A = this chain, B = another copy of it.
Amino acid sequence: MNINQNYLNLKDNYLFAEIARKVKEFKAANPDKDIIRLGIGDVTLPLAPVVVDAMKNAAIEMGDAKTFRGYDDNQGYDFLKSSVAGYYAKKGVSIDENEIFICDGAKSDTANILDIFGADNAVVIPDPVYPVYADTNIMVGREASFIDGNIGNTFLPMPDTNVKFDIVYLCSPNNPTGAVYNKEQLKIWVDYANSIDAIILFDSAYEAYVCDDNLPTSIFQIEGAKKCAIEFCSLSKTAGFTGTRCGYTIVPQSLVRNEVGLNKLWRRRQGTKFNGVSYIVQRGAEAVFSEEGQNQTKEGIAYYMQNAKIISDALSKLGIWYSGGKNSPYIWLKCPNGLSSWEFFDLLLTKANVVGTPGAGFGANGEGFFRLTSFGDKDNIIEAMKRITDILK
What is A's interface to B at a CB cutoff of 8 Å? Answer: 1-5, 7-8, 10, 42-49, 51-52, 55-56, 59-60, 62-65, 68-72, 104-105, 107-108, 111-112, 115-121, 132, 135-136, 139, 166-167, 197-199, 236, 240, 242-245, 257-258, 260, 262, 265, 268-269, 272-281, 284
A3 to B257 alpha-carbon distance, docked (Å): 7
> Which chain B residue has the least Cβ–Cβ distance from A69?
B243
- With A197-B1, A243-B278: A46-B63 Cβ-Cβ less than 8 Å: yes
A6 to B70 alpha-carbon distance, docked (Å): 31
14 A–B pairs (Cβ distance < 8 Å), ordered by A: A1-B118, A1-B167, A1-B257, A3-B265, A4-B265, A52-B62, A55-B62, A69-B243, A70-B240, A111-B272, A135-B272, A136-B272, A243-B276, A245-B278
The reply to whether A117 and B273 contact each other, CB–CB distance below 8 Å, is no
Chain B residues with CB below 8 A from A274, complex form: 104, 107-108, 111
Chain B residues with CB below 8 A from A120, complex form: 2
Chain B residues with CB below 8 A from A199, complex form: 1
Chain B residues with CB below 8 A from A121, complex form: 1-2
A226 to B105 alpha-carbon distance, docked (Å): 32
A4 contact from B7, B116, B166, B236, Cβ within 8 A: B116
Copies in the complex: 2
The reply to whether B243 and A72 contact each other, CB–CB distance below 8 Å, is yes
CB distance from A377 to the nearest CB of B (A): 10
Top 9 A-B pairs ranked by shortest CB distance?
A2-B118, A52-B63, A111-B273, A42-B70, A55-B59, A69-B243, A70-B242, A1-B166, A46-B68
A45 to B68 alpha-carbon distance, docked (Å): 8
CB distance from A261 to the nearest CB of B (A): 10
A119 to B3 alpha-carbon distance, docked (Å): 9
Chain B residues with CB below 8 A from A119, complex form: 4
A242 contact from B5, B47, B71, Cβ within 8 A: B71
Chain B residues with CB below 8 A from A279, complex form: 243-244
CB distance from A262 to the nearest CB of B (A): 7
The reply to whether A2 and B47 contact each other, CB–CB distance below 8 Å, is no
Chain B residues with CB below 8 A from A8, complex form: 260
A272 to B262 alpha-carbon distance, docked (Å): 23
The reply to whether B275 and A4 contact each other, CB–CB distance below 8 Å, is no
